[in-house]
Structure 1
Amino acid sequence: MATDTTGRSGAGTRIPEGSTGLLVRKAVRTEALITSWDGISGDAQTVSAHWPARHPFYVQSGRYSPLLVTETIRQALALLSHTQHDIPLDHRLGWERLRCDIEPGGLRAGHAPAAIELLITYTAVTRRRLGSVHLTARVVALRDGVRLATADVRYTTHPPMIYDRLRGAYADAGEAFARALPLTAPVPPPRVGRTEEKDVVLTPTGTAHTWTLRLDTGHTVLFDHPHDHVPGMVLLEAAGQAALAEAMPRACVAVCFDTTFQRYVEFDQPCLITAEPAEPDERGRARVEVTALQAGRPAFTSTVTTEPVPPSP
């Protein structure tokens, strides 16, 4: 069924050819995961997505990265913000709060793409006089009909006038992106659950439980277009990698991110990532408190829960 001229969905609406990346904020078309959406009611929608069977960043050792869950949710919420809530495409979206609980068994990659369905219910939508919108959503993610994850997200959208005032000297994405600090050395990839150095977002500092944020702005998955600040998805990846480093030598997977985004992380200043050590419980689960500090101030905090990698079936 085609989308009507207002952009609102009907049953089984597919994203119009050529507009996918714009609606989900991805410049590289192959990184857009959302395929269609259905309007259930004014507050609830079902969004369909596909996960590729192979991907250089999101699939390793036969498993999907937990970050793919949060990226799918991010894309779905961006889509619905524009198509269901009439938020213009030039508004800037930013997360304030995210809790995402993941079933690790659902992260196994197969020989064919995985079908993902998100049931998204908006529990609050508050519109401000000058155009900003504050939204809260509950997400239930299914993979082939089986629960994969649940999430609660609070985010804000700002019109250009307000966003530019908030960002001040950093408002121009091209200029802010160009001021990124030189790329630093990575932590050994296996220590943070990675196989390639290019995918590591932490640099060792010589201090236990502390790293600096490593930003490879040429990474076409994490940075597929210029940003005026470090994206929240990169910060979540950093939190996950820090938690896996704390779990070593045990092989673990991140199964919960409980995160608050307090301020923007800039490209032109060092950002420290710290983790509080945590002893695993009798099941091998551990809760690691991860904090990002920039210019001496907390930028985000995330409680990351890890558990042992499930055995192969």
Structure 2
Amino acid sequence: MSLSYAATVAREYVHRTAVAEVFVTDTSDTEGTYRVAAQLPRGHLMQEGPVLDFSLLVETVRQAAVCVSHLHLGVPLGLAFLFRDLDVQIDDADALRVGDRQAHLEVGTALEARRTIGGRVTGVEFTGQILVDGRAALTGRGSLMVMTPAEWKSLRGLGRRETLSAAEPLLPSPQPSPQPSAQPSAQTSAQPSARADPRTVGRRDPRNVVVSQVSLVPSSAGERRAESWLHVDTRHPYLFDHPLDHAPGNLLLEAARQSAAAAVSLSHGLQPSDLVVLACTGSFDAFVELDLPTQVVTQVAELTTRGAIVACSTRTSILHAGRVAAQIDLTMGVTA
């Protein structure tokens, strides 16, 4: 059965507020194997380079898993989903190049639901592949927690108490505003310094920069280590599509990508704008509060060559209140 790209699904099925941020258009179920159609707009705010933006690809995977959970696994609307881990491999970087029309994606995935004795879904593990205009481009796996509002409130409260016991808030608690403002507000300064120059982190639009200036730090061990701070702007229409009381996973992934691009450039002389993500493994272990500073630390390995691809492995730690809140390993590469 062919999938339709005629219209997006209802925004509630992918947990988005803006219709423009809904990418999924259709789903199907064939004996437990699910196919999900999605369309990525060429003019999206995050889409700046010649290849499909990595953040948008991960968001497509998230939306596919959430949508299938609601439409095919019986998860009711109103429950909360929380990213726990992700493992993605780019199989064909050339398939991700932006063409002269919107990209049609198809996510083929198998989902395994964790259920209570009563049958309620408490988590989802997914594996699958993304086709871009019919070409196999990406494979990956990941997992999501599924919680009732009461469970979410309890987990969120516990997480915040644990964080605040380790570090006192240094900033006023932000009140996310859904309306953009011409004047900067206190919520855009959840870090000790201003945003990095977009060119140094592989970006063009300053609005998409989510870290401060990335600097190499001398190490007696000889390792290449780069440091910066997370820059949070709750007015960003994609990263904060709706008000949140913590930094979302896609913000942390983008911070790791920007830090890695800058760190590889500083360490090996490659241009940040030439670097693309070839692989990503991430785990998210603690909430990142919006009213505490968050450090982004990236370790950089040596360059490797695989055919026409020059690549570099990086490990980024999101340090928050004296502990690692998330760890994201990226392979950054330059393709011919």
Unpaired segments ≥5 residues, structure 2: 161-171, 177-185, 218-225
Q: Which residue of 1 aligns with 2:251?
A: 234
Name the SS for the 2:301 alignment partner: coil
1:13 offset after TM fit, Å?
Answer: 7.4
Is 1:290 paired with 2:316?
yes
Amino acid at match of 1:294: H
RMSD in angstroms over aligned alpha carbons?
A: 2.4
Q: Which residue of 2 aligns with 1:137?
A: 126
**For the structure 1 residues 18 and 144, does the alpha-carbon distance in structure 2 shift closer, same or farther, using more than 3 Å as the test?**
closer
Distance 1:79 1:176 in 2: 32
CA contact (8 A) 2:78 2:149 kept: yes
Equivalent runs, 1:76-155 vs 2, <5 Å:
76-102=64-90, 103-122=92-111, 124-128=112-116, 131=120, 133-155=122-144
Count of residue pairs brought into register by the alignment:
294
Name the SS for the 1:76 alignment partner: helix
Distance 1:143 1:97 in 2: 23
Q: Which residue of 1 aligns with 2:277?
A: 254
**For the structure 1 residues 228 and 133, does the alpha-carbon distance in structure 2 shift closer, same or farther, using more than 3 Å as the test?**
same
Equivalent runs, 1:135-284 vs 2, <5 Å:
135-168=124-157, 178=175, 181-183=187-189, 184-204=193-213, 208=217, 209-248=226-265, 249-250=269-270, 251-283=274-306, 284=310
Query: Which range is displaced more, 198-207 or 98-107?
Result: 198-207
String of CA shifts for 1:76-112, please: whole Å, max 9, x gaps: 1110111111112111101111001123212211111
Amino acid at match of 1:265: V
Amino acid at match of 2:305: E
Amino acid at match of 1:158: M
Task: Percent identity, please.
Answer: 26
String of CA shifts for 1:162-197, please: whole Å, max 9, x gaps: 1111111889xxx97517744351111111110121
Is 1:20 paired with 2:20?
no
Name the SS for the 1:280 alignment partner: strand
Unpaired segments ≥5 residues, structure 1: 1-10
Distance 2:245 2:5 in 1: 27
Distance 2:152 2:73 in 1: 19
Distance 2:3 2:262 in 1: 42
**For the structure 1 residues 126 and 158, does the alpha-carbon distance in structure 2 shift closer, same or farther, using more than 3 Å as the test?**
same
Q: Which residue of 2 aligns with 1:8?
A: none
CA contact (8 A) 1:286 1:306 kept: yes
String of CA shifts for 1:9-47, please: whole Å, max 9, x gaps: xx6676997862111111111111110011111x31100
Q: Please, what TM-score do these two structures have when normalized by structure 1? A: 0.87
Q: Which residue of 2 aligns with 1:6?
A: none
Distance 2:320 2:88 in 1: 25
Amino acid at match of 2:51: R
